[in-house]
Chains A and B, each alone.
Chain A
Amino acid sequence: MNWSTIKLIFRRELRDQLRDRRTLFTVAIMPMLLYPLMGMAMMQVAQFMRESPSRVWIVGEEKLPASPPLIVGGKFNPTFGSAESKLIELIGSEAGNGHFEALIQSATSSPGDSSSVEEILRQEMQKRKMDLAIFIPNKIQIPEGPDALEETVTGSSISPPATQVFVLADSAIDKSRIASERVNQILNQWSKEFSKETLVANDISASMIRGIVFTTGDVANKTGKQAAAWSKILPFIIMIWALTGAFYPAIDLCAGEKERGTFETLLSSPAARSEIALGKLLTVMTFSMATSFLNLLSMGVTGIFVLTKLGNGMGAGNALPIGIPPLTSIGWLLLALIPISALFSAVALAAAAFARSSKEGQYYLVPLLMISMPLMMIPMLPTAELDFGTSLIPVSGLMLLLRGLIEANYSDCLKFAAPVCAINLGCCWLAVRWVIHQFNSETVLFQASERFGIGAWLKHIMRERRSLPSLGSAILCGVVILVAKFFVGFAVTAPQNFSQFAFQTVIILVATIFIPSVMMALFLTRNPRKSLRLNGCKITMAAAAVLCAIFLNPAFTWLTGFIMHIYPPNGDILMLQEAVSKILGSAPGLWAILLVFALAPAVFEEIAFRGFILSGFQSLKGKWQPILLTSLMFGLAHGIIQQTIITFVVGMILGLIAVQTKSILPCILFHLTHNSLAVLLSQANRTVVEQSPVLRQYLYSTDGQNYQYATFPAILMSVVGVMLIVWFLQLDMKPSNRSAAYGSVPKLS
């Protein structure tokens, strides 16, 4: 790769884009003008904005007690909330609404029947005649006597208290909800005052119901509060503009150039495709970063100006919690902008390469926005925190890390900096590889305009299917499994006994994993048997797989314990575990548990993952890339993060065995043994272990219930397990064993 050529292409593309008025407007002029204009508009609008009053109708106003007075001069008593009182307009008798009065009079003709009044109020509310209605069915007066006193102080009563004030609101309408908040504030204060007067009327000091006096303190300093406010806004702003800023240049540099016919001229120059791709990528990245930075700058300057003005207006006591962001936060943001711009630019450029025109380019980039938005929204959730699980999510992890760094919470967030950086840089690398691949693909660069039809497409798939699954069909199978498992998870109900549980588990495995993979092998490949790796294998390989699973079991048990330690399961998972162990108690025998937990997953999951999906990924170069991708899918299919990590590691070994032996039989045996041992270990109890001299040497328990491997035998077993993996690794190095791997397939000669 010639960097001077990349630099030359980059400089030309940069100059070209800078001469494009549309790009300049989007990248520089719009952010420079947008925020000041928005700020101005906000301040202008704020001058004219006033809160609209809530319209409240009171029925039975005459039944209110004279003291404390709730209504004074046709308005709520300002003593119980002066601000709220001003914003409430009472309609009713004083407003002279004859229509309502007539209705109520007819409804209250039979004394004591409040249901008909409530019904009328409901109907009038639905007609939007008012925002809120208050109905006082019976006369309210200060209670006297010991019973009434007890009821006032403790709130308890021998008989259930009758409704004194009935408040009717419509929570589906904003105005009604606001009215409800305002009225409740006033009614609560009025109720407290009423209680006090009740005590006074009964010769008891009102201070008796004061309760516990508490005050709150805040350790956060001003900088900390400002950082907390900015830490949620700034990462989002920087990400969304980095993505938006990459869009237009990506379309113009790829689809636009195809449209203008200049792409072919460039491709026939000595510049290599990878150099062209990187030159263009650097240009898109520059514009992405510039857009993001200029938006941040413009928003910051406008924000500071507006906040200062608003803050001055509010006085020193009511200063806003947002001020100038800490300077270090700007540094962190600019540092994070480099990888994130690279990622978004590469993905945008690669997607834009599919398009034949600028207009078509926009269609390709909209889905990119739809995918990226949830990743940017996850860190905005109040419960989102940076932990091992979230650190593995691209973009979201980086945003959470940025949040922590802006809040100067270094000790908590820096321990996850390594996975965040690894994941995001890994995504960047994959995206850049994708761009280079797109620029090397004739199908992408010179695809002709075709009219799409489902029939023609299906015919095309059938006609073009190959002996083994393609990369696309492997990804499709994985995605179908993940989506099917997601929806089935919602559809199933909690099983009541073991037979229901077993039935559900097996059906889910068959429906979401086995059937999709087998159907795809049948319809998308010419050789389903080979695609599912349904080959025989030598007995030594099968035995080695079983032994490998046995000897590696202590290592997997340790790994599980370690993961559970650094990533403890939450309450839901613990409840699920408890429910499953209860159900297992009703199993007809150990054989049934092994059937459900060991045999069924071993067969169905291996056919799908080490069969169809791994065969598809093997169209990629090398041995490890397909194994890694299959294991990632295998891990993700298990849903729970702790299980995902463990199954990913197990999947790597299973993938290696499948690739080396070219058969899923050893994988099924490994999987079966691994799961069986996990079940047996969880079911081991004191009686069984104590009776067996072998088990006594290998297992120990601190509580007599949960058994673990003893340290020395476990280390020894793990070493043997690793040696067996090395044996599998050497299989493709020996020509004799290569033919042995195909042992059961007769050679045609």
Chain B
Amino acid sequence: MIHVRKLTKTYNDIQSGQFKALAGISFDAMPGQIYGLLGPNGAGKTTALRILSTVLKPTHGSAVVNGFNVNEQPEQVRRQIGFVSCNTAIYDRMTSWELVQYFGQLYGMPLDRLHTKMNALFDRFQMNEIRDVLCSKMSTGMKQKVSIVRAMIHNPPVLIFDEATSGLDILVAREVLKTVEQLRDQGKCIVFSSHIMSEVKRLCDRVAIMNRGVILAEGTPAHLAEKHQENDMEELFYQLISRSEAQLQAEKSAAVVTHNLTLPLAN
């Protein structure tokens, strides 16, 4: 369903020159599977998800979503995905009904089919009470519900959740996670980025742990635990990230030493 190969994204940074947000990551996510992207802030999770949703273009490498290449067929890729971001990202001056209808129309859905689908989703997520309420008047949990319905309206085979539970209270967060599980059970391919270990352990069928644009470890949670001989997911995450940071630091120091040695000796 999703095939990512050697995906690289480089930004031009005025301070440090070229900055690699992604340094050639590869992974595959299948239908009926939740693929977890784990990493600290700045690991490159959001960049990878933005490339998958065609908001950003990769510098090198390829990503294929449900048979469509993000570089060559971005519009078709966007029709295959539903994107839910961490900051709810809904229009404050629209009602939930108007907002979902607007996105349904952007996906080219005929109004009668769109309204049938909307009624079903509003029933399922118990949103009928807020259908005529402006989004600015809603709680964060309500907004996230609207955001999920908005992402599901065109019944996409792929759903991307970028830290979708961040900032939500435990009740709403659980509801979101339950929805994600239900979507997986419907055969959807789900990419789920988070830095909350309990969520990842509960939900994800496969996990990629990322740091500084590279995947440090990838596999099922059980496989990772066995390989690294650590059952606690949080501890495993901590060890991998710490080791990666220490290695990076050592490489930097070695580079400084090598550079100094090549300089002519001062008298």
Number of B positions contacting A (CB below 8 A): 34
Residue of B nearest to A272 (CB): B75
* Cross-chain contact B108 with A452 (CB below 8 angstroms): no
Residue A360 is within 8 A (CB to CB) of chain B in the complex? no
Residue of A nearest to B91 (CB): A262
* Cross-chain contact A270 with B79 (CB below 8 angstroms): yes
Within 1-26 of A, Cβ neighbours of B (below 8 Å) are at: 5, 8-9, 12, 15-16, 19-20
* Contact A260 B89, CB 8 Å, known A269-B103, A270-B79: yes
* Cross-chain contact B14 with A456 (CB below 8 angstroms): yes
* Cross-chain contact B15 with A450 (CB below 8 angstroms): yes
* Cross-chain contact B56 with A268 (CB below 8 angstroms): no
Point out the residues of chain B lying under 8 angstroms from A15, CB to CB: 93-94
* Cross-chain contact A270 with B107 (CB below 8 angstroms): yes
* Cross-chain contact B56 with A446 (CB below 8 angstroms): yes
* Cross-chain contact A16 with B94 (CB below 8 angstroms): yes
Interface range on chain A: under 10, 10 to 19, 20 to 34, or 35 or more?
Answer: 20 to 34
A246–B92 CA distance with the chains assembled, in angstroms? 21
* Cross-chain contact A269 with B12 (CB below 8 angstroms): no
Binds A, one of B80-88, B199-207, B217-225, B229-237: B80-88
Point out the residues of chain B lying under 8 angstroms from A265, CB to CB: 83, 85, 89-90, 147, 150
Binds B, one of A325-333, A344-352, A457-465, A571-579: A457-465
* Cross-chain contact B88 with A271 (CB below 8 angstroms): no
Residue of A nearest to B92 (CB): A260
Chain B positions 1 through 27: 1 when the CB is less than 8 Å from some CB of chain A, otherwise 0? 000000000011111010000000000
Point out the residues of chain B lying under 8 angstroms from A268, CB to CB: 53-55, 78, 81, 83
A125–B181 CA distance with the chains assembled, in angstroms? 90
Point out the residues of chain B lying under 8 angstroms from A270, CB to CB: 75, 78-79, 106-108
Point out the residues of chain A lying under 8 angstroms from B150, CB to CB: 265
Residue of A nearest to B12 (CB): A464
A442–B106 CA distance with the chains assembled, in angstroms? 22
* Contact A456 B15, CB 8 Å, known A16-B91, A268-B78, A271-B106: yes
Q: How far is the CB of A623 from chain B (nearest CB, A)?
A: 27
Residue among B12, B54, B106, B108 with max Cβ neighbours from chain A (10 Å): B106
Point out the residues of chain B lying under 8 angstroms from A16, CB to CB: 91, 93-94
Residue A267 is within 8 A (CB to CB) of chain B in the complex? yes
Residue B131 is within 8 A (CB to CB) of chain A in the complex? no
Point out the residues of chain B lying under 8 angstroms from A8, CB to CB: 102, 105-106
* Cross-chain contact B56 with A450 (CB below 8 angstroms): no
Point out the residues of chain A lying under 8 angstroms from B195, CB to CB: none
Point out the residues of chain A lying under 8 angstroms from B85, CB to CB: 261, 264-265
Chain B positions 96 through 115: 1 when the CB is less than 8 Å from some CB of chain A, otherwise 0? 00000011011110000000
* Cross-chain contact A261 with B88 (CB below 8 angstroms): yes
Residue B50 is within 8 A (CB to CB) of chain A in the complex? yes
Point out the residues of chain A lying under 8 angstroms from B13, CB to CB: 450
Chain B positions 56 through 79: 1 when the CB is less than 8 Å from some CB of chain A, otherwise 0? 110000000000000000010011
Chain A positions 71 through 114: 1 when the CB is less than 8 Å from some CB of chain B, otherwise 0? 00000000000000000000000000000000000000000000
* Contact A19 B93, CB 8 Å, known A443-B12, A446-B56: yes
* Contact A5 B106, CB 8 Å, known A267-B55, A268-B55: yes
A261 interface neighbour in B15, B53, B87, Cβ under 8 Å:
B87
Residue of B nearest to A12 (CB): B102
Chain A positions 8 through 46: 1 when the CB is less than 8 Å from some CB of chain B, otherwise 0? 110010011001100000000000000000000000000
Q: How far is the CB of B77 from chain A (nearest CB, A)?
A: 9
Q: How far is the CB of A249 from chain B (nearest CB, A)?
A: 13
Point out the residues of chain A lying under 8 angstroms from B91, CB to CB: 12, 16, 260, 262
Q: How far is the CB of A143 from chain B (nearest CB, A)?
A: 84
* Cross-chain contact A261 with B103 (CB below 8 angstroms): no
* Cross-chain contact B78 with A261 (CB below 8 angstroms): no
Point out the residues of chain A lying under 8 angstroms from B88, CB to CB: 261
* Contact A269 B106, CB 8 Å, known A16-B94, A442-B56, A460-B14: yes
Additional A-B contact list (12), CB under 8 Å, known A265-B89, A450-B14 = A8-B106, A16-B91, A260-B91, A264-B85, A265-B150, A268-B78, A269-B103, A270-B106, A446-B55, A457-B14, A463-B17, A464-B12
- Chain A interfacial positions (CB closer than 8 Å to B): 5, 8-9, 12, 15-16, 19-20, 260-262, 264-265, 267-272, 442-443, 446, 448, 450-452, 456-457, 460, 463-464
- The 8 A-B pairs of least Cβ separation, nearest first, read A261-B89, A268-B53, A261-B87, A19-B93, A268-B83, A265-B89, A269-B106, A460-B14
17 A-B interface contacts by CB (under 8 A): A8-B102, A12-B91, A15-B94, A20-B93, A260-B92, A265-B83, A269-B78, A270-B78, A270-B79, A270-B106, A271-B106, A442-B56, A443-B12, A446-B56, A456-B14, A460-B15, A463-B17
